[in-house]
Amino acid sequence: MKVLLIDDHPLILSALQSVIKGLGDHVTVVGVGSARAARETLAANSDFDLVLLDLHLGDANGFDVLAEFRSAYPALPVVVVSASDRTSDVIRSIDLGAMGFVPKRATNETLFEALHMVMSGGIFVPPMEMGSPDKPSNFDSDASQGGLQGVRRSASESNFQTPASIESLGLTPRQRDVLLLLLKGHPNKLIAREMGLSVETIKDHVAAVLRALNVSSRTQAVLAIGQMSQQPGSQPAWSKPS
């Protein structure tokens, strides 16, 4: 596995490189300290398997870089690794196409879990235990509880609820295929083209998926799947039904 790590703090960059190399001898990590260097590296080498991106870069806005890379390299998963764990940053990152969000205060084990999940095709969002439900973290004032509980609280205010498990959704094989492409950030037109169906049919399938998840937007769907994928014994949503 070849990983591009983007962080403008040399000490953090070095520390993260060491941690990620701990995944095994098969892991190669290339570290760069700016968005410009990252662009040049990706332009020169197209064989990266994963990008880890800090949101606060000296020469660019991390969200802009995330959107740029997801557009230019749609098959290359990007995981945000940030000092921030604000609910709004988590949701915005996922909305822009990040396949995961890991606060820098997370443990090495959490980072490893996130990378394994993303490389297996999953979505990783911060687990609930990363923030205390009893005291405010550095979340927005409308979601003052830490970790994923803050995400869940924000989403619940717009009628977001997490189903018990992926298996309980009762999706048809075609709806699961639509969900897979939806999680990759594909718009309805592209999903329709890939599946050989009309846009109206895809809209119906997307609506059915959102109803099954009991959510009202694609971003909430991604967050819901991210939560369910972390439940013990849960079958990944991207797995084909047998």
CATH number at residue 17: 3.40.50.2300
- The residue whose two tokens read 């109803």 is 211
Q: Give the CATH number for residue 173.
A: 1.10.10.10
As given in the structure block, the two tokens for residue 79 are 């995981």
Residues 135 and 197 in one domain: no
Same domain membership, residue 76 and residue 9: yes
Domain assignment of residue 102, yes or no: yes
User: Does residue 131 share a domain with residue 92?
Assistant: yes
**For residue 121, which phi and psi values (nearest 5 degrees)?**
100, 10
The span from the CA of 53 to the CA of 62, in Å, is 7
- pLDDT for the residue numbered 66: 95
Q: Please indicate, yes or no, whether residues 65 and 124 belong to a single structural domain of this protein.
A: yes
> In terms of domains, do 135 and 16 share one?
yes
The predicted structure's pLDDT at residue 161: 43
Please indicate, yes or no, whether residues 21 and 112 belong to a single structural domain of this protein.
Answer: yes
- Measured CA to CA, the distance from residue 148 to residue 122 in angstroms comes to 16
- Domain check: are 79 and 195 in the same one? no
pTM, entire model: 0.65
* pLDDT, tens only, 53-108: 999 999 999 999 999 999 899 889 999 999 987 888 888 898 888 989 999 988 88
* Structural domain range at position 194: 166-229
Contact 101, 151 (CB under 8 A): no
User: Residue 50: in which H helix or E strand, if any?
Assistant: strand 50-53
- Structural domains counted in the chain: 2
The pair of three-digit structure tokens given for residue 118, joined into one six-digit string: 């993303």
